[in-house]
Amino acid sequence: MPDIEKIALLIKVGSDVAALLIPFLISHGEGEAAKEVIDILAQADVNWKTIGDRAKDPNY
Amino acid sequence: MRRLVLIPIFLVIGCGPHLIKTAAIVSLETSKAVMALQEKVKEYHDTGIINDAGYQVWKESFVKLSDVGIALDKALREGNDQKVIEQIKAGIGFLDFLIQNGIPKIPQDKQVLIMVLIESARSILVAIAAAHGGA
């Protein structure tokens, strides 16, 4: 299987279980793993917001 | 019977964090690619390579891409396939719009780098769309 398909498959499964798994991990003492994922998503959120803020800034 | 129930639970516990992490990293990497594109276009504007009218086209598209990225991240976090596909289609649409309308505002000798940056962001989005059955 080409790498791109493997990555796509991983994303598919990851996305499907995300809503269930994060609270599950926290409630079963795997808070560190859940926190790591949430932190990565938070970084992405910050980046997306920064892109919008810069674009709306007349001085940028 | 009990074994059958336990297998998926072990699969989720064993693989879950890595799989979710992959989805999270993809969102982050796409945002980095778009940020790099935004910084390069600003540099071209600051140095007079792109004029004000041309830069405005890019700025408006970055506002829309930002909204799409935030919504995509939320959909990935919720595991909502339909929303993921909707946002990816919108994102690809804006990038295609930039190829059609933003690229011509840049001098020909600078277009290749910008095209590479756009394609970088676009290819990540297409990979996610494929994963969610939307390709």
- Flag whether the ipTM exceeds 0.95: no
| B31, pLDDT greater than 80 | yes
Residue B3's pLDDT band, with cuts at 50, 70 and 90, is: very low
B65-96 pLDDT, tens digit each? 899 888 887 887 777 777 877 888 888 888 88
Q: Which residues of B touch A6 (CB under 8 A)?
A: none
Size of the A and B interface in Cβ pairs below 8 Å: 144
| B36, pLDDT greater than 80 | yes
Q: Which of B22, B72, B82 would best serve as a mutation to test chain A binding (most A beta carbons within 10 A)?
A: B22
pLDDT at B23: 61
pLDDT at B124: 73
User: In whole angstroms, what is the distance from residue B13 CA to residue B23 CA?
Assistant: 16
pLDDT at B49: 92
Stretch B41-69: mean pLDDT, rounded? 92
Q: Which residues of B touch A58 (CB under 8 A)?
A: none
User: In whole angstroms, what is the distance from residue B30 CA to residue B118 CA?
Assistant: 10
Q: In this complex, do B21 and A37 lie within 8 Å of one another by their Cβ atoms?
A: yes
Higher pLDDT, B41 or B133: B41
A4-44 pLDDT, tens digit each? 555 555 555 555 555 556 666 667 777 776 677 667 767 87
Chain A CA closest to residue B85: A12
Burial state string for A4-29 with b = 16 or more CB within 10 A and e = fewer than 16: eeebbebbbbbbbbbeebbebbeeee
| A50, pLDDT greater than 90 | yes
Task: Enter the tokens of residue B77.
Answer: 């976090």
